[in-house]
Structure 1
Amino acid sequence: MSEIFEPPVIRASDRSGGDDSPDKIPDVLPILPLSDLVVFPYMVAPLLVASERSIRLIDEVVAGDRLLGLVLQTDPDLDQPRPDQLHDFGCVGRVLKMLRFPDDTIRVLVQGISRCKVVKVVEDPKTPFLKAKIKIVEEKKKAGITMEALLRSASNLFQEILSLTPSLPEELKIASINTQDPGRLADLIAANLDLSLDQKLEILRDPLDQSRLKAVTTHMARELKVLQLGSEIQEKVQTAFSKSQREYFLREQMKAIQEELGHGDERQVELLELRSQIEKAKMPDNAEKAAVTQLSRLAQIPPASAEYTVVRNYLDWLIAVPWSRWTGDVINLKKSIKILDEDHYGLTEVKDRILEFLAVLKLKLDEAQAKGQQQNVKAPILCFVGPPGVGKTSLGMSIARAMGKKFVRISLGGVRDEAEIRGHRRTYVGALPGRIIQALRQADSKNPVFMLDEIDKMGTDSRGDPASALLEVLDPQQNHNFSDHFLEVPFDLSQVMFICTANQLDPIPAPLRDRMEIIDIPGYTDQEKLQIALRYLIPRQLLAHGIQPDMVQFKEDAILRLIHGYTREAGVRGLERKIATACRRIARKTVEKGKRNVVISTRSLSRYLGQPPFKSERAERAGNPGIAIGLAWTPFGGDVLFIEATQMPGGRHLTLTGSLGDVMRESAQAALSYVRANAAKLKVDPAFFEKCDIHVHVPAGAIPKDGPSAGVTIAIALISLLTGRRIDPELAMTGEISLQGKVLPVGGIKEKVLAASRFGLKKVLLPRLNETSVLEIPEDVRKLVEIVLISDVAQAVQHALLPSGARRKNPKVQD
């Protein structure tokens, strides 16, 4: 296929005779298909040749007699048309010039020689391009007064058109004045007049010069009338034209053109366009019925009315919503695994759940295709729960990429108005659909991956409860018929894959929790953080700060020191900020002192980040009886807390400090009661509470603390205080206790053990009834932290209190 590569101002050529004579043209010529150009005899036109087949054709033509057939394609979009996709009439041409360009294309200048008819395509296996047997069509000339009058009339009309069309060059005017041959003048005018390809082809087919000249005269008369009308319109509005009236001028000009062409006024055109868009939107029947009804109302409302804007805005939204546009499901488990592993390290449980859904979807698609039915798989509704910085939001983007779907996200943090979800009713000024419909319009797909971020941070007030509005959105049995207050017609959300994120589950109403599949993302281990830093964070920050990767090397021990001493978090957001700080200082030194290689080691880390803000408190407290290390769960991951107990002269008074909640205070009361009831067994003076007061304090007093899981820790701290035996400084514990000394199960085991690992502890006491939760702990953490399962306080005393000269054992899980 070939096309023009500059505006098609095609000139007449005075060359005739010689090699261009029709009687010297071979019967079989190579055929060059043209996509958007009709070449006439004696015309010179530039062509762009891009396809490999056409380039071969030009090479052979230039090497030979330079003659070829120029034939118009029936479909301009075809790159390599078949013989039946070419018109049967064309023009014999001669290649005048050929230029090769660096983009592997060829520019050629061709000159038309004679009309020709394609008789038969000739098969030639030696050439990749088309050849055809042609028949030269001789032009039939007619002379006389009528022809002379027609010639003069056509020339005058063309001169007038040229005077009203500044885009056509002056040389055309000179060429037309000096062309006295009627046939050549007709061809010259047809080549440069604004005609369709079919009209030009009809003129090319006509061998009679008189009928050709009549045809172009008719076309010129119509074109001249249009140009004169445009000129008159321009003159009418030019008198009232000013900078502030530019918009008005354009409307009036369009209106005048439409009236002259019989297309009606501007408003009628607008209504027709809206009706066409409604048909193209392929809405459901009820939505289309509502759109047609509102369109009829719009036709009756004056444009100056406020109601007109309301109805027009409603129609625009109905048309823009993706009722029938979606992205096809790309189900390739191997590719999905690769994408998920590329974007996120670890998170095995989450990845497995996503791959399970993709496998189910694949089976459903295969079954539907086998039955010749349309698949209709309801997407799951997932909720990622975990501390900040563990990759919940970015995981949603990876899921969309793995499935080949579009991704949209809205943040629900601080949303208090139900209308944010369901939209406003159209009676309100400035009413809009809810954020669900707005996001779907933005995605332009009815089945994207839709992330509802921070769903636990919604609120309620007098304007409604957005969490209750989400009950319909996130219910697979109802969301196929979701009704937005603005649209007032149902929209099918069942194909949308909703993914919610939250830091904690407690603020989410129970009915809403029940509609979602909860997937916990507790946090990363030190080794996972190390790998994330090496694979993702460091390369990303080096790129962001303009540092070449080979200029900086982070040692693994330096990264671990960074994790332990400079950050204390479940995620990696703080870790990335510290890496960014180091990169900024490296960039400054590079600019000041020139390019040099930098190695970040444990020794040099403080030069870039200062002294570590977190230091271990175990060394300071190791020798003090009455100090125990407990484990706590927070919305931001697990954490460790010190529990201190001391005694003083007095009697029968227990003091609790440290911003403790009621449940934690009751746990301390239960722990004290157990110690008093079992004083003899624990080798404690039974009358200790008669002689002294007990004070239990949990540091970080500005932070509220509550929950029953510190019961066993408080009990061990009291026993350590009253017996004078120190507690293993590398040991932490968690568990609720009863008055009989039983250690009861608690929640957040995985997060708590990860916190102990981050804190550098070597041993953790857990309730035996939480034994199944131990399997959720990553294997590399279980190798670093010795996990001991206990049933009662007596076993906790045995493992926690240090006898004189005791030594540690190899880490393992003990019963």
Structure 2
Amino acid sequence: MNELIKNIPVVALRGMTLLPSMITHFDISREKSVKAVETAMLRDQKLVVVTQKSPETQDPGRKDLHKIGTLVTVKQIMKLPQNIFRVLAEGLERVEVMDLDVADGCLVADAATFSEEELALPDEKNQEAMVQTLRTIFQDYCQANGKISRETALQIMEQTDLQKMVDQIAVNIPVFYEEKQKLLEAVDLTERFEQLSVLLENEIQVMNIKTEIQEKVKARVDKNQREYILREQLKVIREELGEDTTGAEADHFQEEADKLEASDEVKERIEKEIERFKNAGNNSAESSVIRGYIETLLELPWDKESVDNMDLANAREILDEDHYGLEKVKERVLEFLAVRALTKKGDSPIICLVGPPGTGKTSIARSIARALDKKYVRICLGGVRDEAEIRGHRRTYIGAMPGRIANGMKQAGVKNPLMLLDEIDKVSSDYKGDTSSALLEVLDSEQNNKFRDHYVELPLDLSEVLFIATANDVQTIPRPLLDRMELIEVSSYTENEKLHIAKEHLLEKQIEKNGLCGYDFSITDKAMKKLISSYTRETGVRSLERKIGEICRKAAREFLEEGKGSIKVTETSLKNYLGKERYTVNRLNDADDIGIVRGLAWTSVGGDTLEIEVNVMPGKGELLLTGQLGDVMKESAMAGISYIRSVSREYGIDDKFFKENDIHIHIPEGAVPKDGPSAGITMATAMTSAITKLPVRADIAMTGEITLRGRVLPIGGLKEKLLAAKNAGIRLVLVPEKNRPDVAEISSEIKKGLEIRFVSHMDEVLKAALVKNSEN
């Protein structure tokens, strides 16, 4: 030992070794280290730095530090944020730490320097040989490494002193601190030279091997691999620029797929598509197609379902609260609930509500969904021509998307919603396919448990969907499609029903809609009845609601402009809001008349009465038909005249009458087309009356079809026809015998005040209608 330095401050370094002749900085934050530097600055700026054996040790002792350290001079101290100090120091020489202790809050030690004898300097010739050897090795190292600056390399190569060359090379080569610690502990110069030479040779070999491997790998990279590497590099660049979202999206899709409630088949398909999405280019057209497909599969409710409310009392209460009347529909819904409650499963029925516009078909579907706590989805089929609207597009086409059924399931979010197929009678067909045929699979309970959408390509279970369809006319629905649905007729409302609906639902809705909630506004019952009869003519209540809204708007203006405190709309003041009356009831004639018979007709807006007039005039035996009659009514007229000719002798008609006279049948309102199989007996009665000159009762109306032998055939739309007869003041209505079951189902409110007589033959019709033969 050359010299013993007592009580010198010590700083323990983590993951770093400081060598002699080395000028570098290190950061300290531990209190003992900071205190040691402060103590050194107060003395001669010298301290000893020693490397810890383990960087994780927080409070090192003697056994945690290497034995050999470096005596350094502190050049500069900088204070950084978070109580960190950066110390710039220069290594002076190796020292051996003898005793380590803690004094004044810092580590102190007795450090011994090394003498020249301990350094074991070789003779000049050996030193020169070592310098040349080391120079050659270092030159090879610089060529292999390429990270040593040219200036530094030249400075080291020009060095002739072995000790300085060894120390300078050790300082400048980028090796781990453990290797530098070994060089620091090699006090003997010859030993240090040997260790440094071995270290450089090893590094040269490692770098040569690495170069060889890189060259081999590069040689094996073909065109596809090169493109892949470039693609990966491009992906990394995009990630750095914040432009690449494919990886993040794929991870998000995978997370959603893991949480999805679906079968193994569905999950396997989704995972396969996610892999394809990962491999596709970020901005490629294929990537966007796959992305849309994965999003659709993840949004579909494969095995997710809601719990139905099985409380029958609650369902009845909600249905009665939302709708007045419609007993058949309500009973069918309660039956469905009862079966579902008993079986715990049960197939969902496919119901088709048939009736005129405005009768509440669409709104009752919404009420059923509310009563059952089901998700509600409405799909409007009016005017749909393309089969792909139902089944979806093939994914090979640009702009492909799922069909309306799959979209409806996605919108509902559960596999058992209530799906309303609105206006199912309005679908049509063209060159793009038959839309109604595409609905066959949807509405067949035996097939729809594996409905295949062309876009989704996986079977969708529609068996638990409660389908409710609406239609105005079943005649336009193809027979196979109609056969799959359970028909429930939603017929016209009576005036009394309209009055209840207006008072309990429409008036309150329009008052709220037009901002009259806080005002004293009302419409009397008499005014409402006059509004229904004189200002609207419809089967439903849409026009009625619009008229009530019109009254509310005018009342709102009066409240604001005239400052009225209250407004009460009466039967007398109704015309001030709506103007003159729009409709008058086609009342019965005042007296019996010859050749005029009142018939009953069904129209798209309800029932109506129409007068059939017949005139007989000299001619050539021709039958003239006017009034925009359709083919069916023309055939009925011809059948009627044939029947009359067959029984002409019973009524005293001359055989020459039909050759010498023309018969003209006319139905007023000639601009309105008329057709249907229910005016046969009416025209036959009118012709008989005109030919025999026997008057027809003014208070009678009739409906029914006639055959050549005089039989009376059944008809449809009986409720609307009876309602029209009642409104016209008719007392006696002739109805086909085979319609007796239909009459039994009609409410007593409609039949009250009407005498309904069932007829099966034309003789009975003429006996009841012609005044001479009438029992009355």
Band of TM-score, shorter chain:
0.5 to 0.7
1:147–1:660 distance in 2 versus 1, CA, 3 Å: same
* Partner SS, residue 335 of structure 1: helix
Query: Which among 400, 403, 420 is matched to residue 369 of structure 2?
Result: 400
Distance 2:31 2:739 in 1: 112
Q: Distance in 2 between matches of 1:342 and 1:804?
A: 51
Counterpart in the other structure of 1:631: 600
CA RMSD of aligned residues (A): 2.9
Q: What does residue 330 of structure 1 align with?
A: 309
Partner of 1:768: 737
Q: Distance in 2 between matches of 1:343 and 1:253?
A: 61
Instruction: Report what 1:284 is aligned to.
Output: 263
Partners of 2:246 and 2:618 lie apart in 1 by 94
Name stretches of at least 5 consecutive residues in structure 1 with no aligned partner. Answer: 1-142, 161-250, 259-263, 366-375, 808-815
Structure 1 residue 311 corresponds to structure 2 residue 280: no
1:714 partner amino acid: M
- When residues 729 and 603 of structure 1 are mapped into structure 2, their CA distance, relative to the original with a 3 A threshold, is farther
1:363 aligns with one of 342, 346, 364: 342
User: Where do residues 25-36 of structure 1 align in structure 2 (5 Å cutoff)?
Assistant: none
Shift of the 761–578 alpha-carbon distance from structure 1 to 2, 3 Å rule, reads farther
Give the secondary-structure state (helix, strand or coil) at the position aligned to 1:607: helix
Q: Which secondary structure state, in structure 2, belongs to the residue aligned with residue 633 of structure 1?
A: strand
Please give the per-residue CA displacement for 1:702-746, whole angstroms capped at 9, x wherever unaligned.
333223210110111112223434433332210112233222222
Q: Is the 8 A contact 1:503 1:636 kept in 2?
A: no
> Using the alignment, how far apart are the partners of 2:571 and 2:657 within structure 1?
49
Aligned to 2:700: 731
Give the match's secondary structure for 1:498.
strand
Aligned partners of 1:461 and 1:567: how far apart in 2?
37
Cα distance in 1, alignment partners of residues 490 and 753 from structure 2? 21
1:568/1:758 contact within 8 Å kept:
no
- Report the CA distance between 1:611 and its aligned residue: 1.7
Residue 348 of structure 2 is aligned with which of 365, 375, 379? 379
Shift in Å, 1:297: 1.5
Q: Is the 8 A contact 2:768 2:774 kept in 1?
A: no
2:554 matches 1:579: no
CA distance in 1, matches of 2:34, 2:303: 60
One-letter code aligned to 1:569: E
Per-residue CA deviation, residues 450-483 of structure 1 (Å, 9 max, x unaligned), is 0000000011011001111111111111111011
After TM superposition, the structure 1 stretch with the greater mean CA deviation from structure 2, 414-423 or 758-767, is 758-767
Q: Aligned AA for 1:515?
A: R
Matches of 1:804 and 1:736, distance apart in 2: 22
Any conservation in 2 of the 1:482–1:492 contact (CA below 8 Å)?
Answer: yes
CA contact (8 A) 2:625 2:634 kept: yes
Q: Secondary structure at the match of 2:501?
A: helix
Structure 1 CA distance, aligned partners of 2:623 and 2:402?
A: 59
Q: Tell me which residue corresponds to 1:792.
A: 761
**Equivalent position of 1:413 in the other structure:** 382
- The answer to whether the 8 Å contact 1:346/1:528 transfers is yes
Matched residues, number: 559
Partner of 2:133: none
Q: How does 1:351-750 map to 2 (within 5 A)?
A: 351-365=330-344, 376-548=345-517, 551-618=520-587, 622=591, 624-750=593-719
How far did 1:558 drift?
2.1
CA distance in 1, matches of 2:774, 2:489: 42
Give the aligned residue type for 2:341. K
Alpha-carbon deviation of 1:292?
1.6
Q: CA deviation at 1:416?
A: 0.4
Aligned to 2:170: none
Shift in alpha-carbon separation, 1:502–1:266, aligned structure 2, 3 A? closer
2:630–2:673: 8 Å Cα contact kept in structure 1? yes
Change (3 A) 1:621 1:698: farther
- 1:532: Cα distance to partner? 0.5
Could you tell me how far 1:632 is from its partner in structure 2? 2.0
Deviations, residues 390-448 of structure 1 (Å, cap 9, x unaligned): 00000100000000011010110100000000110111111100011111111111111
Q: Within 1, Cα distance between the matches of 2:705 and 2:244? A: 81
- What is the aligned partner in structure 2 of residue 345 from structure 1? 324
Counterparts in 2 of 1:538 and 1:731: CA distance versus 1, 3 Å? farther
Tell me, in whole angstroms, the C-alpha distance in 1 between the residues paired with 2:248 and 2:414.
28
SS in 1 for 2:467: strand
Assess, with a 3 A threshold, how the Cα gap between structure 1 residues 293 and 676 changes in structure 2: closer, same or farther.
same
Task: Give the residue type in structure 1 aligned to 2:675.
Answer: D
SS of equivalent to 1:534: helix
How big is the shift at 1:156? 6.1
| 1:297 aligns to 2:276 (yes or no) | yes
Question: Given that residues 621 and 627 in structure 1 are in contact (C-alpha distance below 8 angstroms), is that contact kept between their aligned partners in structure 2?
Answer: no
SS of equivalent residue, structure 1 residue 618: coil
Q: Distance in 2 between matches of 1:592 and 1:428?
A: 60
Deviation at 1:685, TM superposition (A): 5.0
Give deviations 1:551-590, integer Å, cap 9, x for gaps: 2332222222222222221111111112122222222222
Asked if structure 2 preserves the Cα contact closer than 8 Å seen for 1:400 and 1:406, the reply is: yes
Q: 1:593 and 1:723, CA in 2 relative to 1: closer, same or farther beyond 3 A?
A: farther
CA contact (8 A) 2:587 2:729 kept: no
**Within 1, Cα distance between the matches of 2:406 and 2:632?**
44
The alpha carbon displacement at 1:674 in A equals 2.2
The one of 235, 238, 251 equivalent to 1:272 is 251
> 2:767–2:774: 8 Å Cα contact kept in structure 1?
no
Instruction: Map 1:209-228 onto structure 2 (within 5 A).
Output: none
> Offset of 1:616 from its aligned partner?
3.2
Amino acid at match of 2:336: F
Distance in 2 of aligned mates of 1:432 and 1:332: 39
Matches within 5 A, 1:162-201: none
- SS of residue in 1 equivalent to 2:734: strand
**Structure of greater Rg:** 2
Say which SS state the counterpart of residue 610 (structure 2) adopts: strand
1:602 aligned counterpart, secondary structure: coil
1:600–1:728 Cα change, 3 Å: farther
Task: Give the structure 2 partner of residue 126 of structure 1.
Answer: none
For 2:577 and 2:706, the matched residues in 1 are separated by 47
Q: Do the aligned residues in 2 keep the contact of 1:539 with 1:549 (CA within 8 Å)?
A: no
Return the alpha-carbon distance in structure 1 between the equivalents of residues 266 and 523 of structure 2: 59
Higher mean alpha-carbon deviation, 733-742 vs 391-400, is at 733-742
Structure 2 partner of 1:190: none
Q: CA deviation at 1:252?
A: 10
Counting only pairs closer than 5 Å after superposition, residues 210-249 of structure 1 correspond to structure 2 as: none
Matched-pair contact (CA < 8 Å) for 1:629–1:713: yes
The normalised TM-score by structure 2 is 0.68
Q: Which residue identity lines up with residue 326 of structure 1 in the other structure?
A: E
Task: Mark the CA change 1:606 to 1:725 in structure 2 (over 3 Å): closer, same or farther.
Answer: farther
Amino acid aligned to 1:639:
D
Partner of 2:725: 756
Counterpart contact for 2:768–2:775, Cα < 8 Å: no
- Using the aligned pairs only, state the percent identity: 46
The one-letter amino acid paired with 2:582 is P
